[in-house]
Amino acid sequence: MSSKRGNFKKILIANRGEIALRVIRACREMGIQPVAVYSEVDRTALHVRRADEAYLIGPAAASESYLNIDRILDAAKRSGADAIHPGYGFLSENEKFAQACADAGVKFIGPSPQSMRQMGSKTAARQAMERARVPIVPGTANAVQSPEEATVIAAKVGYPVMLKAAAGGGGKGMRLVHAPGDLRSALEAAQSEALRAFGDSAVYIEKAIINPRHIEMQILADEHGHTLYLGERECSIQRRHQKVLEEAPSPLVDEDMRRRMGETAVRVAQASGYTNAGTIEFLVDGDKNFYFLEMNTRLQVEHPVTELVTGLDLVHWQIRIAQGETLSFEQKDVQLRGHAIECRIYAEDSENNFMPSPGLIQNLQEPAGPGVRVDSGVYEGWRVPIEYDPLLAKLIGFGSDRAQAIARLRRAIQEYFVGGIKTNLTLFRDILADPRFIAGDLNTSYLNGLQKTPPDISNVEPAAIAAALFVALEQRSSSSSGTQQEIQEAKNTTNWKSTARQEALQ
């Protein structure tokens, strides 16, 4: 089945935003022509502007465009693309899409539909992990049938326990139970919530891990039986189960723990015949025990931190593996160097309960300089649409150690400016200055305890002067007597331009 394929000439990217840009860049570096697809509201999006070809695939709603398998495969056919890169989100973990690509004779850059199916089902994944001797959170794989059964199981795994909806996700149908007396009512509540949310009341029991860390392991597997791990990423800083900041390596993980987690991750991947890039997520408790949580069968948002500390380009390797190449290095060649931290810059107002803030980007200044990488999907003058994920860009800081990476990010955030829409940039200023973060003392409820840095009001005077200067300039350019042409010019360009010109003439 995996006969040696030739090199791809053209890759269609079934995604949008910064990740589409990321893949376009890899294509260019490898001499491959990138093909974009876009919805009606994304005509002027950066990924469309930067691609060689672009195909409209439908209306704004993702279900009618970026999730529409037929329209995407039609674009692939029309463009003559050899392969499809799914990015993350949208169709990236959809086994039907991977199968449809195979049926259409287009290479899906990712694992086979079979391994996606196995990893997609919670119970199937749990059973496969047990067979592969992978540590999982103690508990049941099947739904509990009665409160009596629940009492027996809970006593066996030990309190506190977590009740979880079998069909669930996103915190629905979940209950934390500290003591036997609370079990019965919590079970009833979880079951009825699960029924309402998912149409299925099945609830299972796991040992509760209080304030765990969330640490994941990157793997690469070629189609010739080689699977390697590329080190971990610490992703404990989350808000509403959404990652906010990630770093590599984890401040917690030492050489020995890395090797054990890495070898476990390789076993997980091999148990499902996994190929291409993948990530195994673990929960880690206070005693540094790690438990398999789930596998993400795609490129992760936070892949750049691994790229920076390993020196490997993960998107290049995804493409090379899909082309049938063999991994050209061994486990001992994977050496971590330095430290990288990623901040996810979202269009949401961190000063106002993280309200989404789509709209026109009136002014944009992205940072640059040593150890700063910005993977951005936006530009000044572009309107961020309301229909999609609020991720604008990823700001990644790299340094020879963690302290330098933090210092570079703090400097970069000072340079960063997004005007016209609100962002969560100030959240990162708070995190990067927080003693707990600097000490590496992290867990998934870290953000709940984060203190807001009091606003620095030392620049009130220059701010007041600048505010008045802006007004003075506007008044002057609107009242200045000039020829009809000058007035027209002032209207067409900005006041600042015409004023600057006046200044220059003086």
Partner 1 sequence: MLYEVTINGQTLPLELAQIGGRWQCRLGKDKMAVDVPLDVAFVGPDTISLIYKGKSFETRRESSSDGVRIWIDGESYPVEVSDPRSFRGRKKRSESEAGPRKLIAPMPGKVVRVLVGESSEVEAGQGIIVIEAMKMQNEIKSPKKGRIQKIAVQSGASVNAGDLLAVIE
Residue type, 147: P
Torsion angle, CA of 90/95/97/99, rounded to 10 degrees? 160
* Nearest-approach distance from CB 461 to partner 1, in angstroms: 6
Total Cβ atoms within 10 A of residue 111: 27
Stretch that binds partner 1, among 5-13, 113-121, 299-307, 419-427 (CB under 8 A): 419-427
Q: Work out whether 503 is an interface residue with partner 1 (CB under 8 A).
A: yes
Of positions 256, 439, 456, 484, contacts partner 1 by CB under 8 A? 456
Q: How far is the CB of 51 from partner 1 (least distance, A)?
A: 24
Q: In the bound complex, what is the minimum distance in angstroms from residue 173's beta carbon to partner 1?
A: 18
Q: Which is nearer to partner 1, 152 or 468 (CB)?
A: 468
Q: How far apart are CA 87 and CA 388, in angstroms?
A: 14
Window of 18-26, 117-125, 315-323, 492-500 that interacts with partner 1 by CB under 8 A: 492-500
Tokens describing residue 53? 């070809």
Work out whether 429 is an interface residue with partner 1 (CB under 8 A): yes
466 binds partner 1 (CB under 8 A): yes
> Does residue 388 belong to the site contacting partner 1 (CB under 8 A)?
yes
* Residue ranges in 30-94 assigned as alpha helix (H): 46-50, 69-79
The answer to whether 379 contacts partner 1 (rule: CB under 8 A) is: no
Scanning 121-238, the segments in alpha helix (DSSP H) are 122-131, 147-157, 183-198
- How far apart are the C-alpha atoms of 281 and 214, rounded to whole Å? 7
Q: Would you say 139 or 390 has its CB closer to partner 1?
A: 390
Q: Dihedral of CA 300/296/443/454: which sign?
A: positive
Q: Does residue number 142 form part of the binding site for partner 1 (CB under 8 A)?
A: no
Number of residues that bind partner 1 (CB under 8 A): 49
Residue 455 binds partner 1, judged by CB under 8 A = yes
Residues acting as catalytic residues: 298
| Residue (42 or 348) nearer to partner 1, CB | 348
Residue 405, both tokens: 């990476």
Minimal distance, residue 16 CB to partner 1, in Å? 13
Q: Which of these segments, 163-171, 270-278, 330-338, 462-470, binds partner 1 (CB under 8 A)?
A: 462-470
Among 338, 390, 397, 399, binds partner 1 (CB under 8 A): 390
Residue type, 372: V
Q: How far is CA 425 from the centre of its chain?
A: 16
Taking the least distance from each CB to partner 1, the nearer of 210 and 355 is 355
Residue with tokens 């438990």: 291
Which member of 471, 480, 482, 488 binds partner 1 (CB under 8 A)? Answer: 471
Tell me which stretch binds partner 1 (CB under 8 A): 113-121, 307-315, 319-327, 423-431. 423-431
Q: Report if residue 7 touches partner 1, rule: CB under 8 A.
A: no
Token couple for 64: 């009618």
Q: Which of 389, 393, 397, 399 binds partner 1 (CB under 8 A)?
A: 389
Q: Closer to partner 1 by CB, 135 or 358: give it.
A: 358
CB 323 within 8 A of CB 85: no
Q: Is 413 in the site for partner 1 (CB under 8 A)?
A: yes
- Who's near 427: CB < 8 A, 6+ residues apart? 244, 350
- Per-residue burial over 8-38, b = 16 or more CB atoms within 10 Å of its CB, e = otherwise: bebbbbbbbbbbbbbbbebbeebebbbbbbb
Q: Does 59 bind partner 1 (CB under 8 A)?
A: no
Q: What secondary structure letter does DSSP report for 461?
A: H
Does position 481 interact with partner 1 (CB under 8 A)? The reply is: no
Phi and psi dihedrals of 22, rounded to 5? -60, -45
* Residue 436: Cβ-neighbour burial (10 angstroms; 0-12, 13-18, 19+): middle
Nearest to 216 by CA among 251, 241, 250, 245: 250
Interface pick for partner 1 out of 65, 112, 357, 376 (rule CB under 8 A): 357
Is residue 176 at the binding interface for partner 1, with CB under 8 A as the rule? Answer: no
User: For residues 261, 262, 263 and 264, what is the CA-based torsion angle, rounded to 10 degrees?
Assistant: 50
216 binds partner 1, rule: CB under 8 A: no
Chain contacts with partner 1 (rule: CB under 8 A): 347-348, 352, 355-359, 362-363, 386-390, 413-414, 416-417, 419-420, 425-426, 429, 455-457, 459-473, 475, 494, 496, 499-500, 503, 506
